[in-house]
Amino acid sequence: MSQLLYGLITGILFGFFLQRGKVLRYDQQIGALRLMDMTILKFMLTAIFVGAIGIYLLYDLGAAKLSIKPTILGATVVGGLLFGIGWGVLGYCPGTSIGAIGEGRWDGVWGVLGMLAGAALYAEAYPLMKKSLLIWGDLGKITLPGVLNVNHWLIIPVFILLGVGMFIFFEKKNL
């Protein structure tokens, strides 16, 4: 029961900041894909940088476990392409479609219905996927620090520096 309550409270906080960052909007999401408005990227990358620092600190202190998804080239590449096409057509991702409805942009409802259909469809296709895309190019649960065999505190600052460079570029170009 408390698990469900924690989920709800965490979601409310996250949804609050998504809305305040103006990232629940179709115009911002499609604006990013059209390279016209990088609000989404600024929000997402900042969240990732704060998350990476915080979670790896907790990990080093033994206070958190990492959640690493397997890298399966077939599934990740094809799935990523399909997700990108669908996202670009819909203009919301799964979480932001729900948030968009919350702030009154109720065309998110069509997206949610479509995504329920997509989930049902995937459940039907799953046995076939398990024999094909889900086993093609399975590299296991790899990470960049693991593959390069270096400490994660060498990788994280490099990513943050690259990100800050992008931010400076975005601000210069008024994106």
Partner 1 sequence: MEKKRDKDYWSPYIAGAFAGLVLVLSVWITGKYFGASTSFVRSAGLIEKAFDAERVGQTEYFVETTPKIDWQWMFVAGVFFGALIAAKASGTFKVQAVPGMWQAKFGSNIAPRAIVAFLGGTVAMFGARLADG
The Cβ of residue 18 has, within 10 Å, a number of other Cβ atoms equal to 20
142 binds partner 1 (CB under 8 A): no
Rounded to the nearest whole angstrom, what is the least distance from the CB of residue 172 to partner 1 in the complex? Answer: 12
Window 43 to 102, contacts with partner 1 (CB under 8 A): 43-51, 54-55, 58, 63-65, 67, 69-70, 72, 75-76, 78-95, 97-102
How far is residue 34's CA from residue 30's CA, in Å, rounded to a whole number? 6
Give the binding range for partner 1 (CB under 8 A) out of 18-26, 137-145, 150-158.
18-26
Rounded to the nearest whole angstrom, what is the least distance from the CB of residue 151 to partner 1 in the complex? Answer: 20
Which residue number, 122 or 149, has a Cβ lying nearer to partner 1? 122
User: Measured between alpha carbons, how far is residue 31 from residues 92, 99, 133, 168, 170 in Å?
Assistant: 12, 18, 31, 18, 13
How far is residue 66's CA from residue 59's CA, in Å, rounded to a whole number? 7
How far is residue 99's CA from residue 7's CA, in Å, rounded to a whole number? 15
Window 145 to 174, contacts with partner 1 (CB under 8 A): 167, 174
1 binds partner 1 (CB under 8 A): no
